[in-house]
Structure 1
Amino acid sequence: MDFSIKAFDWSKAGVPSLLAAKSDCVVIGIFEGQTLSGAGRQLDVLSKGLVARLIKSGDMTGKSGSTFLLHEVEGIGAARVLLVGLGKQDKFEAKSFTDATRAAWRALATTRAAQVTWLLAQTPVKGYGADWATRVTVTVARDLAYRFTETKSKPEPDERTLKKVTLVVDPADEKAAKVALRQAIAIANGSDLTRDLGNLPPNICTPTYLGHAAKKLAKEYKLKVEVLGQKQIEALKMGSFLSVAKGSSEPPQFIVLHYQGAAAKQAPVVLVGKGITFDTGGISLKPGAAMDEMKYDMCGAGSVLGTMSAVAEMGLKLNVVAVIPTCENMPAGNAVKPGDIVTSMSGQTIEVLNTDAEGRLILCDALTYAERFKPAAVVDVATLTGACIVALGHHNSGLFSKDDALADELLAAAKKAGDPAWRLPLDDEYQEQLKSNFADVANIGTPGAGSVTAACFLSRFTEAYPWAHLDIAGTAWKSGSAKGATGRPVPLLSQFLIDRAG
């Protein structure tokens, strides 16, 4: 799908109407119960009152997310006109725009239109500009267009015909919209990479495969990459990470990817991604139902690679380092057992009370490793706890941080990107639940606040820098008939880094 930007001013008298231009479909927004204006008004004039008649008859109410498709409208160059309901104008906000955009793309998918003129990006949204509207338009379109067919012998034929989309903006917004378009395409590409990695089966997407994916990304964008193997990880004394990998025949990998978009002396942002390519729970074996979905336990790693792809494609002026510990968590005669005590890279000892709380065991060593970069900030991303799903469901990712400024940055980015997160507590009182009689800390807490105690565990390894943790257990993939990776939180992380670079 090819996107472009076109500037047009509807207020200038005497200019030839954009609606006279040839295309397969033009997309126009209509507010509920409002006087027609802009493109809607000009459409009504050129069609000799057709829109007004549709509104009067009740066929087009303008209710949010409603659509009405017209064919061969007199006076209009496009073969089709898609009217999209925007809801009440005084309540038209970010969610209303996103809902209308999603409804419009879905309606277009039922047509054979190949070339589309998109006018919704000119609709003012409270608190946002045309650059934001452009980004939402493109990322929603790409999200709906995504298909995973790599492992099918005979992929279903793709009957979609849409090839070219022209986004119309006001002349004053043209420059910003073009920048936003480039960013949106990069973010969509990064999200697609994340989804592809997540959707691959675990017999293909192994730790070694993730290492190759990082090397491929490094080659494409001229990034520096290191993929450390078993002996190198042992030399770093990452006893906690290695304890998780013990039961698997797949060798662990420790991936470090560097993007340098600013001066070398500028402190980088470090992204740490949990890369458990399959999680049986180890000796603390998971129930069999839906265990196939544990291939998605590497979505933290996948989202970090997707974000690095987006950052490199955008050419952001900042430095970013990706750190990805990756292995399988399998039961075996030599697997780590409940009651074992392991020593982390930091020197802290950990009593393993549950081998299914393995993500924090690999992340803690990666967080200690991140200290060497003297980072401006560290954000780890992990499908860490089922407790986060209990707390927040599948809409918000869980955000934890003791650094208010960093947390506020991430929440603002989440809101702007339409990739929501909710901040949960990280009070010192919760640390009491992690006490061990035999080690410095236990890897699980006493019952209650499971996602909080998991974050508290990680916080013990992050005192050297500003740090935040994103628990994406409820947002990284969908189950049921829509089963598949979502690509989240690539939009959130990308927006966070765009804002930092700006």
Structure 2
Amino acid sequence: MTNLSLANAQSASLDVDAVVVGVVTDDSGPALAPGAAGVDEAFQGRLVDALSGLGAAGKPGEVTKIPTFGNLAAPLVVAVGLGESYDAEALRRAAGAALRSLAGSGSVTVLLPAATAEEVAAVATGALLGNYAYLNYRTGDGDKRPVSDITVVTEADTNAEVQGALDRARTIAEAVSLVRDLVNAPPSDLNPEALADTARQVGEEAGLSVEVLDEKALVEGGYGGIVGVGQGSVNPPRLVRLAYEHPEATKTVAFVGKGITFDSGGLSLKPSEAMDWMKSDMGGAGAVLGALKAIAALGPKVKVVGYLAIAENMPSGTAQRPSDVLTIYGGKTVEVLNTDAEGRLVMADAIVRAGEDEPDLIVDVATLTGAQLVALGTRTAGVMANDDDVREMVVGAAGRAGESAWPMPLPEELRKGLDSAVADIANISGERWGGMLVAGIFLKEFVPDGVRWAHLDIAGPSFNQGQPYGYTPKGGTGAAVRTLVQVAEDLAAGAL
């Protein structure tokens, strides 16, 4: 566990392994950002010249290391670019990029701009998220281990608001890191039962109420979607319900997460090159778990119920077949035309069940479609809703939390493509176009009448197959945790 602390400029120790400063850029070239004056003084006012000589220009995410040659107690200065101007997200990304470059170090002092509680939270959150490493299955990788001590230096008075911002950063980062760990875990170790057990442990430690339905309870309860998807695997499915309730809560929000611990596609088998990262298909359920953990610690005045719809989608002699008909919880029937469109089946069960909690809002989050990546790329989630105000609220919450999301429509004309000759609805459309939107339209069919609902497709943002950037590592990202927390806090504040 990384130790995170706060210090002011007068008391900050520079007797550490490295000091991080910010660099901005303008028409005249690079310049030091607020917070770096003391370091520059130690370099006799020539730090910018030294950095420029190494090619530093202050571009966002640019990292330049320079030895101090005894000018400071710290042996190394790490300068990270902030661009022409910076907001909270730019600070998060800069702090993350700097800490990623310092893996294997013992202690780091961060001298990025931190004059307000918001900036303190941004710098601390970015530093902690950038400091993440998944080393559970590695041996002898000391150079990849996280920094053990991080000190954020602030220009603000270290009052209760500023200290609270630091504590919030720690809470959020711990929740996101939990989800990253779960997404990165190999599916041989994180099967549905293991994920449900983890959710129970995390929930109980956080003071949440926890209920877990096993395969027998799911059959008896009529959860045909979860049972159907999970019946091809030797690892049976689970449905987890977590609940947090503030004693002064007047609003209820239900979060529903897709938890496919491995998605082979079932009998509609995926090509092998599309399967090697399908351990990440439980990222939505992970996000719900992480969000509930953080919400329980932050204590907003709201009731939050979380559902984790968990199964493993495998081909076998017991697997569901294309053309099978499933009966979803609540009675609606679905013709399964493609077993690789399984996420919407388990989500349908959980969305209907969430309606029994009489929520003011349901938000589901899922690594649902490859079409999301085609439409929006790997970093931006698609947001659909049955209410325009809800869609804009969720997109706004994501932006303030530092996560990229984009509003998407649910065109009525696409519903006809889901008509089935034998059941109430089919799980895929006969047309290939608008796949992300069609999946959202399918889920909308299971939202209880009169309940506001939003759907987040995080297929791309949940797992980074490329190189690390900012505070985002390769592999599991923990996408949507911060958005869900912000939605709960917004609802507590009367956003709807």
Q: Please, what TM-score do these two structures have when normalized by structure 2? A: 0.88
TM superposition shift of 1:439: 1.8
Matched, 1:100 2:91: no
- Say if 1:7 and 1:170, in contact at 8 Å, map to a contact too: yes
More helix by share: 1
Correspondence 1:284-433 to 2 at 5 A: 284-433=268-417
Cα distance in 1, alignment partners of residues 408 and 111 from structure 2? 39
Cα distance in 2, alignment partners of residues 161 and 372 from structure 1? 43
Which range moves more in the overlay, 356-365 or 196-205?
Answer: 196-205
Tell me: CA distance 1:249–1:391, structure 2 relative to 1, closer, same or farther (3 Å).
same
Matched, 1:452 2:432: no
Of 472, 487, 491, which aligns to 1:496?
487
- AA aligned to 1:345 is Y
TM superposition shift of 1:239: 2.1
Partner in structure 2 of residue 126 of structure 1: none
Partner in structure 1 of residue 475 of structure 2: 484
- Say if 2:20 and 2:109, in contact at 8 Å, map to a contact too: yes
Matched, 1:142 2:142: no
Partner in structure 2 of residue 470 of structure 1: 456
Tell me: CA distance 1:274–1:162, structure 2 relative to 1, closer, same or farther (3 Å).
closer
Cα distance in 1, alignment partners of residues 452 and 243 from structure 2? 19
Tell me: CA distance 1:407–1:132, structure 2 relative to 1, closer, same or farther (3 Å).
farther
TM superposition shift of 1:186: 1.4
Cα distance in 2, alignment partners of residues 382 and 266 from structure 1? 27
Question: What SS does structure 1 have at the residue aligned with 2:321?
Answer: coil
- AA aligned to 1:144 is G
Tell me: CA distance 1:116–1:497, structure 2 relative to 1, closer, same or farther (3 Å).
same
Larger radius of gyration: 1
Deviations 1:394-424 (A, max 9, x none): 0101111122232222212221222211111
- Say if 1:27 and 1:82, in contact at 8 Å, map to a contact too: yes
- AA aligned to 1:215 is R
Matched, 1:276 2:272: no
Quote the sequence identity (%): 37
Cα distance in 2, alignment partners of residues 267 and 38 from structure 1? 41
- How many residues of Structure 1 are paired with residues of Structure 2 in the alignment? 481
Deviations 1:56-114 (A, max 9, x none): 8686544443534241464x5555444444333xx33445434432343244447x4x3
Tell me: CA distance 1:21–1:286, structure 2 relative to 1, closer, same or farther (3 Å).
closer
Which range moves more in the overlay, 167-176 or 17-26?
Answer: 17-26
Tell me: CA distance 1:280–1:63, structure 2 relative to 1, closer, same or farther (3 Å).
closer
Cα distance in 2, alignment partners of residues 476 and 344 from structure 1? 27
Tell me: CA distance 1:52–1:246, structure 2 relative to 1, closer, same or farther (3 Å).
closer
Cα distance in 2, alignment partners of residues 68 and 421 from structure 1? 33
Deviations 1:139-164 (A, max 9, x none): 33233332223344x35335658332
* RMSD after superposition: 2.8
Could you list the runs of 5+ residues in structure 2 that have no partner in the other structure?
A: 469-473
Correspondence 1:128-139 to 2 at 5 A: 130-139=116-125
- AA aligned to 1:122 is A
Question: What SS does structure 2 have at the residue aligned with 1:356?
Answer: coil
Partner in structure 1 of residue 189 of structure 2: 204
Question: What SS does structure 2 have at the residue aligned with 1:446?
Answer: coil
Could you list the runs of 5+ residues in structure 1 that have no partner in the other structure?
A: 9-16, 124-129
- Say if 2:133 and 2:144, in contact at 8 Å, map to a contact too: no
Correspondence 1:82-101 to 2 at 5 A: 82-88=78-84, 91-94=85-88, 96-101=90-95
- Say if 1:67 and 1:107, in contact at 8 Å, map to a contact too: no
Tell me: CA distance 1:187–1:205, structure 2 relative to 1, closer, same or farther (3 Å).
same
Partner in structure 2 of residue 117 of structure 1: 109
Of 191, 200, 215, which aligns to 2:200?
215
- Say if 2:22 and 2:33, in contact at 8 Å, map to a contact too: no
TM superposition shift of 1:47: 4.3
Of 163, 181, 194, which aligns to 2:148?
163
